[in-house]
Amino acid sequence: MTTYVEAATVADAVAAMADGARPIAGGTDLVVGARQGKASLPGSLVGIHRIAGLDAIGDHDGGLRLGALVTHQAILTHPAIRSRYTGLADGSANVGSHATRVNGTIGGNVMNASPAMDTGAPLLCFEASATLRGPAGSRQVALAELWTGPGQTSAALDELLTAITLPRVSPGTGSAYVRLQYRRQMEIAVVGAAAVVTIDDDTVTDARIAIASLSPVIMRVAGAEEALTGRSADPHTVTAAAEAAAAAAAPISDVRASAEYRRAMAAVITRRAINTAIARAGGTDVPIPASDATFGS
Amino acid sequence: MRYPISLTVNETAYSLEVAADQSLLQAIRDDVGLTGSKEGCDDSECGACMMLIDGRPVNSCSYLAVQADGSQITTVEGLADGLDLTPLQAAFLTEGGVQCGFCTPGMLISAIALLEANPDPTEDEIRIGLSGNLCRCTGYDGIVRAVQEVARGLVG
């Protein structure tokens, strides 16, 4: 027997969560998971989908602040995200179908903590952090510290994610998220990779690489970043970085792919992500989502 | 525990009492009595249950009725005026976009949402837009042609 209350404010929601309720917004993971029999609906729910202002996208210290209720559709159609945080738009464009994207929120996506989520790798590369509001106030947590395992976060049960903050992006930066997919929509990443690359005069001055669906949590790969940084963005360097990313992978076998296949594809998909980020850094317009645009490359 | 909710379904107001875990699809089919929207997969894969909530396409099998309190819902029953079909419905018939008809209510709703967001879609954009709606009969070509015709204003 599930009980339900609707929150009008963040404080209402946090109070309900302190009493044991779990938050629900679009329900595209929570309710679908219950329908699939993965996990029953929580015994107590607090609807946060109508909390005023939580769906805002705004500037934050030259970067960006996404309210927890910002939908994938809002992300992928937002001009500043498409131009400056293109890899995040790639990720949101890959999520579900159009019905998933207009209902599914970035807050739910992050707190669901799937190692296969499409926005996770780009958010890690943009060094995003989560704002968690609990009974005692708010705290900021880097996403790298938020995700602790498949479906697990370091947030307390009475902490509500209220926003995702992305720092400003340097000029000359391009980004991309690419996934291996058997179909273009209604798909979960078989293997995913994000790259955020800053280029100055043909030299990579900053590189961030993250892999998804390849380890228990989505993670940055320092070896891949070091293989690119300070070097010219040529195919040999990109291949070396992609292979370093693949070497860090610890994939599982499941219904979508074997661990061996995932490991073999990790370098391919990472290479596509890096090449797309480099192309975008140089002003080339690679369509969103990059997974479709780079298929076969 | 049951919760009172108000819904406006196809411009008619309803007051219902629903359980917290009851889906919007169950509320519309069982309590409102409009059975056009179908239950296919019951977990957001097939799109047969798709409705508009305040204009947004939603897989109603996996959306809690209690969360829709106060919303405007559009189902397939809200499209035609009696026997006068909308141009989109008529195009589905003339182009062979309907065979068994089970996917059609959700397919029409999805196509309306697609055309609302993108009034002049390419064939690829139509296929992407309708990818959350499975059809086991038509092979999709007739459905895609029907949406293309309406987008180009060739019918109606």
How far apart CA B127 and CA A223 sit, in angstroms, is 40
ipTM for the assembly: 0.95
Quote the pLDDT of residue A52: 97
Q: Does A6 touch chain B (CB under 8 A)?
A: yes
pLDDT in tens, B86-105: 999 999 999 999 999 999 99
With a cut of 60, say whether residue B156 has pLDDT above it: no
B107 contacts A44 by C-beta, under 8 angstroms: no
Adjacent-strand bridge partners of B37: none
CB A117 within 8 A of CB A109: yes
β-strand A44-47 against A3-6: which pairing, if any?
parallel
Give φ, ψ of A196 to 5 degrees: -125, 115
Residue A1 with chain B: CB contacts under 8 Å: 1
| Nearest-CB residue to A2 (from B21, B67, B113) | B21
Q: Which helix (H) or strand (E) holds A140?
A: strand A137-142
- Interface membership of B67 toward A (CB under 8 Å): yes
CA A288 – CA A82 distance, rounded (Å): 8
The answer to whether the Cβ–Cβ distance between B129 and A98 falls below 8 Å is yes
Judge: B117–A49 Cβ closer than 8 Å, yes or no. Answer: no
Concatenate the DSSP letters of all residues of A180-226 into one string: E-SSSSS---SEEEEEEEEEETTEEEEEEEEEESSSSS-EE-HHHHH
**Which residues in chain B touch residue A27, judged by CB atoms under 8 angstroms apart?**
62-64, 67
Exposed e or buried b for every residue in A159-171, given b needs 16+ CB within 10 A?
bbbbbbbbeebee
Chains A and B form CB pairs within 8 A to the count of: 87
**Cβ contact B3–A4 (<8 Å):** yes
Which has the closest alpha carbon to A116: A28, A34, A39, A214?
A: A214
Q: Under a CB-based contact definition with an 8 Å cutoff, are residues A2 and A30 in contact?
A: no
Please check whether residue A24 touches B, CB under 8 A.
yes
Query: CB-based contact (8 Å) between B39 and chain A?
Result: no
3-state secondary structure of B143: helix
In angstroms, what separates the C-alpha of A26 from chain B's closest C-alpha? 8
**What is the percentage of chain A residues whose pLDDT exceeds 70?**
100
User: Token digits for A244?
Assistant: 């370093």
For residue B153, the model assigns a pLDDT of 86
Q: 């959350």: which residue's tokens? A: B132
Q: Could you tell me which chain B residue has the CA closest to the CA of A49?
A: B67
Model pLDDT, residue B155: 61
pLDDT of residue A171: 96
- Distance CA(B82)–CA(B124), nearest Å, equals 33
pLDDT tens-place values along chain A, 297 residues long: 899 999 999 999 999 999 999 999 999 999 988 988 888 999 999 999 999 999 999 999 999 999 999 999 999 999 999 999 999 999 999 999 999 999 999 999 999 999 999 999 999 999 999 999 999 999 999 999 999 999 999 999 999 999 999 999 999 999 999 999 999 999 999 999 999 999 999 999 999 999 999 999 999 999 999 999 999 999 999 999 999 999 999 999 999 999 999 999 999 999 999 999 999 999 999 999 999 999 999
Find the residue in A nearest to B22 (Cα). Answer: A2
Q: Give CA angle at A31 (A30, A37), nearest 5°.
A: 95
Spatial separation of the C-alpha atoms in residues A1 and B23, rounded to whole Å: 14
**DSSP structure string for A45-111:** EEE-TT-TTTT-EEEETTEEEEETT-BHHHHHH-HHHHHHSHHHHHHHHTSS-HHHHHH-BHHHHHH
B130-151: average pLDDT = 96
Closest CA to A174 of A97, A253, A282: A282
